[in-house]
Amino acid sequence: MNMKFLILIPLFLLAGCWPTSVSFRDGSVPPEWKRFAVQTLESKAANAPISYAPDLTEEIKDAIQNRVGLKLVPSEAEDPQVNVTGVVENYNVTPLSLQDNTAEVKNRLTIRASFEIFISEPEEEVMKLNVSRFADFDASQDVGSIQAQLLSEINDQIVQDVLNKLLSNW
């Protein structure tokens, strides 16, 4: 009988301390934030596919709308509390040097972009974000044949970086 109490007492104590919800966000969205706008990213990367900057722009819009819950407005004229602008600065494929006597040769697709996130409420703030993300692939593969897969992988990381900056400012 004493053994049952010794087991039940810590269980009740732990159950009382257990969180009712778990969140992975550092903070919450300020209640003043209702609307956002994302300007089509400018592309200064000579090697990037012509549709890359607009495609990344759409992915950022979707992520903010679906994960943060703000309403997308088409322009700054509709007074968004959050406005994202950015530039794709570099899109580069480079060979990786061989290490550890491996016969496998890899290439790396690297994309570098910079963003400015303008916050108008609750107080004006400008957050800057510089991102460089990459994906490695076998050098025997043509980058054009696996480009969609590589861009998806890199874009997921870039979009997550933008969301992290927006939600936690770190």
Would residue 85 count as lying in a domain?
yes
Q: Establish if 6 belongs to a structural domain.
A: no
Residue 78 resides in a domain: yes
- The tokens describing 109, both together, are 């697709």
Q: pLDDT tens for residues 79-117?
A: 899 999 999 999 999 998 766 666 678 899 999 999 999
List, in sequence order, every residue forming a beta bridge with 138; answer none if it has no partner.
106
pTM of the model: 0.79
The highest-confidence range among 22-36, 49-63, 138-152, by mean pLDDT, is: 49-63
Q: Is 30 within a domain?
A: yes
What range does the domain containing 85 cover?
Answer: 26-97+104-168
What's residue 9's pLDDT?
A: 61
Domain containing residue 88: CATH number: 3.30.160.150
List pLDDT tens digits, range 50-83.
999 999 999 999 999 999 999 999 887 788 999 9
What's the total number of domains in the chain?
1
Q: Is residue 55 in some structural domain?
A: yes
Instruction: List alpha helices for the chain, DSSP H.
Output: 2-17, 52-63, 143-168
Q: With respect to residue 118, please indicate whether it lies within any of the assigned structural domains.
A: yes
Task: Decide: 84 and 119 in contact? Cβ < 8 Å.
Answer: no
- Residue 166 to residue 83: CA distance in whole angstroms: 10
Question: Under the phi-then-psi rule, with left for phi > 0, alpha for psi from -120 to 50, and beta for the rest, what region is 100?
Answer: left
Is there a domain that residue 13 lies in?
no
